[in-house]
């Protein structure tokens, strides 16, 4: 029997616009099981990034329910919500957003600190990820000394660092060429399959969709499977 990690039930999101309200997401229902990697495609402004922000507990749904590992995310108090973000969710963005004054190793160790991972365990996890992503020789380099592809691999390692249940990738290949972009998506897929995680990738790059288990289309705030 398949086990779900992430569930969305009738999730809608409204934003105020002067005296009116715009419904950006409309009754989204979605289940992602262990070991599943899904993609969401659709035009700009269709609600894809808003959906990722809600799943990642950066926004609160107007109505509906988001559950990660059987916990209803938006019903948690702030301290608990911060811990869910730190331990349960890994974000990968279009831009690596690395901290300029931290070397590669420290970029990962700060995640371990935020997620309250034991020091020794954090050291092992960081070294293992850097080795797996071919970054061990760069661990003492700073972001301005890295190539674009290396920066994105560091961002991936950072997202994996807390061993999250859910990985959210928002246009992770947009700033990379097709070869490096495919390498990035393959790394996400391998992590999902080997560690039984759930992952959602928002992308405009349809060349990457064969690496995903399911593909959804979002348009005008509605989500449908392709």
Here the CATH number for the domain that contains residue 106 is: 3.40.50.300
For residue 154, the enclosing domain spans 4-225
The token pair at 112 is 């371990």
Give the mean model confidence (pLDDT) for residues 50-58: 93
In whole angstroms, what is the distance from residue 156 CA to residue 187 CA?
8
Residue 95: the pLDDT is: 86
Give the mean model confidence (pLDDT) for residues 8-31: 91
197-208 tens-digit pLDDT: 999 999 988 889
**pTM across the whole model:** 0.91
Q: Would the pLDDT of 2 be above 70?
A: no
110-168 tens-digit pLDDT: 999 888 889 899 999 999 999 988 899 999 999 999 998 899 899 999 999 999 999 99
Contact 170, 52 (CB under 8 A): yes
SS3 70: coil
Neighbouring residues of 35: CB distance < 8 A, sequence distance ≥ 6:
192, 193, 196, 197, 198
Contact 214, 38 (CB under 8 A): yes
Residues β-bridged to residue 198: 36, 166
Residues across the chain: 226
The token pair at 72 is 């209803």
In whole angstroms, what is the distance from residue 2 CA to residue 5 CA?
10
In whole angstroms, what is the distance from residue 133 CA to residue 209 CA?
22
Contact 61, 13 (CB under 8 A): yes
Q: What are the respective helix, strand and coil percentages of the chain, to the nearest 5? A: 40, 30, 30
Average pLDDT value over all residues in the chain: 91
Contact 156, 133 (CB under 8 A): yes
∠ CA(39), CA(69), CA(122), 5° rounding? Answer: 90
Count the domains in the chain: 1
């Amino acid at each position: 029997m398949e086990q779900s990690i992430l569930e969305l039930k009738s999730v809608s999101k409204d934003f105020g616009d002067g005296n009116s309200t715009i419904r950006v997401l409309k009754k989204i229902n979605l289940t992602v099981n262990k070991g599943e990697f899904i993609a969401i495609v659709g035009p700009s402004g269709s609600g894809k990034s808003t959906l990722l922000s809600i799943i990642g507990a950066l926004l609160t749904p107007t109505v509906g329910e988001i559950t990660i590992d059987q916990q209803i995310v938006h019903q948690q108090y702030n301290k608990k919500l911060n811990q869910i973000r730190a331990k349960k969710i890994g974000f990968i963005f279009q831009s690596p957003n690395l901290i300029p004054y931290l070397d590669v190793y420290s970029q990962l160790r700060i995640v371990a600190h935020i997620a309250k991972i034991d020091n020794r365990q954090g050291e092992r996890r960081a070294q293992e990820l850097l080795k797996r992503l071919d970054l061990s020789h760069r661990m003492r380099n700073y972001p301005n000394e890295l190539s674009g592809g290396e920066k994105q691999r560091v961002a991936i390692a950072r997202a994996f660092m807390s061993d999250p249940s859910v990985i959210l990738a928002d246009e992770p290949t947009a700033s990379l060429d097709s070869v490096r972009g495919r390498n990035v998506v393959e790394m996400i897929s391998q992590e999902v399959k080997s560690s039984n995680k759930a992952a959602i990738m928002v992308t405009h790059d349809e060349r990457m969709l064969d690496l995903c288990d399911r593909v959804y289309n979002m348009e005008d705030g509605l989500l449908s499977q392709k």
